[in-house]
Amino acid sequence: MTGDVLADFVADVALSDGTAEPSRMRVVLNDRELVFATGDGTRLIPLDHVFDIVQDISPRATPDSTETIRLAFYVDDVREVASVHGDAGSLLRFQHTLFRGLLAGADTVVRHTVGGTRRHTARTLSLSPTATHIRFEDGDATAFGIPRETISEFRTGHESFGDDRQAAVTLIWMDDRSPAKTVVCFQTPRLFNLFGRYVQSTVRLGTSPDTSERPRRIDVLLVDDDPDDLEMSELFLKRQSDRFAIERTTSAAGGLEYLDDRSVDCVVSDFRMPGTDGIEFLQSLRERDPTLPFILFTGQGSERVAKRAIIDDVTDYVEKGVGTNQYAVLAQRIRKAID
């Protein structure tokens, strides 16, 4: 074995190379390879041959439960799988260490947006993941870090970087008190896949909430000509309550078209929009449905706008602000409007 030892424990391991039943093995992870050792021999798996964590620790695991980590790797272009069975506490520590060994030092191209307005141009940073934080480093200094438990949404797709569209992971999270979006691209599909697995993996052991009795969902239509504002509003409303089911459109005309053949519990609209503003949108809706809850959610706070909204029978009026308190207020007003 070579390299610094990162993890060393005993577990039941099954290998897909013909081992029928799990065998008691010593599991050793260093910065270059993963080692499975028994009295009969040793199996060495270079870390750069591991391309997927097929199964990780369940978020419902408790410290006294038995769990399984299943990882996939290539041997001479043949896909194999190692299944590691053991107590959840030991396996969670191993899982954290394994992800760090697989991803630490990977070069990434990162674009970072805070509050939907302040943007950082794409730059190359080195990944330094831990159990609780995703850190991006520039040389020897940490450029910024993302606390994993503040991530409210994770998705994969393609993003434009200059003239190229690249496969990317997008993270929505809290940067201090402001909503942030970080888009991360990797050099290889292997790293892209492993990073996605890492982001979605369990941070710590606990229990899942009781979901046996769920209140009914609240269907909300968000209308705003700014796609970033729409995205942040949806994400942080859902963070306030999982009752919210959100639909989005970037214009009053789109909102009216959506409502032609579908119903919602509440409409939330910006005021200043091209073509038809929020008050004109409200007037059109009132001709169709005088009772549909309508909340004006706008940064154009003024007595004139508020007065017009009240005259035209707006249900409520919420001013946009800095940070996420605005979404807590908005969520409370939506619930109040429909209950």
CB-based contacts of 31, cutoff 8 Å, min separation 6:
3, 4, 6, 47, 101
Q: Within this chain, do residues 124 and 94 fall inside the same structural domain, yes or no?
A: no
Answer yes or no: is 208 within a domain: no
Domain that holds residue 173: 107-200
Which ranges of the chain does DSSP label H, i.e. alpha helix?
Answer: 88-103, 189-200, 227-240, 252-261, 278-288, 303-311, 325-338
For residue 146, give the CATH number of its domain: 2.30.29.30
3-state helix, strand, coil in the chain (%, to 5): 25, 45, 30
Residue 204, helix vs strand vs coil: coil
Q: Within this chain, do residues 186 and 87 fall inside the same structural domain, yes or no?
A: no
Neighbours of 220 (CB within 10 A): 26
Please give the pLDDT value at position 220: 96
- Strand 294-298 and strand 266-269: pairing? parallel
Q: Within this chain, do residues 38 and 78 fall inside the same structural domain, yes or no?
A: yes
Answer yes or no: is 222 within a domain: yes
Q: Within this chain, do residues 75 and 15 fall inside the same structural domain, yes or no?
A: yes
Please give the pLDDT value at position 2: 59
Answer yes or no: is 316 within a domain: yes
Q: Within this chain, do residues 143 and 189 fall inside the same structural domain, yes or no?
A: yes
CB-based contacts of 333, cutoff 8 Å, min separation 6:
295, 316, 318
Answer yes or no: is 274 within a domain: yes
Closest CA to 10 of 23, 22, 27: 27
Which ranges of 39-157 does DSSP label H, i.e. alpha helix?
Answer: 88-103
Q: Within this chain, do residues 229 and 329 fall inside the same structural domain, yes or no?
A: yes
Please give the pLDDT value at position 63: 82
Report yes or no: 184 and 122 within 8 Å, Cβ to Cβ.
no
For residue 300, give the CATH number of its domain: 3.40.50.2300
42-49 CB contacts, 8 Å cutoff, 24+ apart: 43/15, 44/1, 45/73, 45/75, 45/82, 47/101, 47/102, 49/73, 49/74, 49/75
How many domains does the structure of the chain reveal? 3
Answer yes or no: is 186 within a domain: yes
Q: Within this chain, do residues 298 and 186 fall inside the same structural domain, yes or no?
A: no
Answer yes or no: is 250 within a domain: yes
Q: Within this chain, do residues 114 and 15 fall inside the same structural domain, yes or no?
A: no
- Of the three residues 73, 102, 131, the one that is the final residue of a domain is 102
Answer yes or no: is 211 within a domain: no
pLDDT by residue for the chain (339 residues), tens only, comes to 556 899 999 999 998 854 557 899 999 999 899 999 998 889 999 999 999 998 888 877 888 899 999 899 999 888 898 999 999 999 999 999 999 999 999 999 999 888 655 556 788 999 999 999 999 999 878 888 999 989 988 888 777 776 777 788 999 988 877 888 899 999 888 999 899 889 989 898 875 444 445 568 899 999 999 998 898 899 889 888 888 999 999 999 999 999 998 999 999 999 889 989 998 999 999 888 888 999 988 875 555 666 666 666 788 888 787 667 788 889 988 988 887
In the block, tokens 């999982």 appear at 242
Identity of the amino acid at 329: V
Please give the pLDDT value at position 1: 52
Please give the pLDDT value at position 209: 45
Q: Within this chain, do residues 63 and 124 fall inside the same structural domain, yes or no?
A: no
- Of the three residues 169, 200, 231, the one that is the final residue of a domain is 200
Q: Within this chain, do residues 148 and 96 fall inside the same structural domain, yes or no?
A: no
Q: Within this chain, do residues 262 and 319 fall inside the same structural domain, yes or no?
A: yes
- Of the three residues 42, 76, 102, the one that is the final residue of a domain is 102
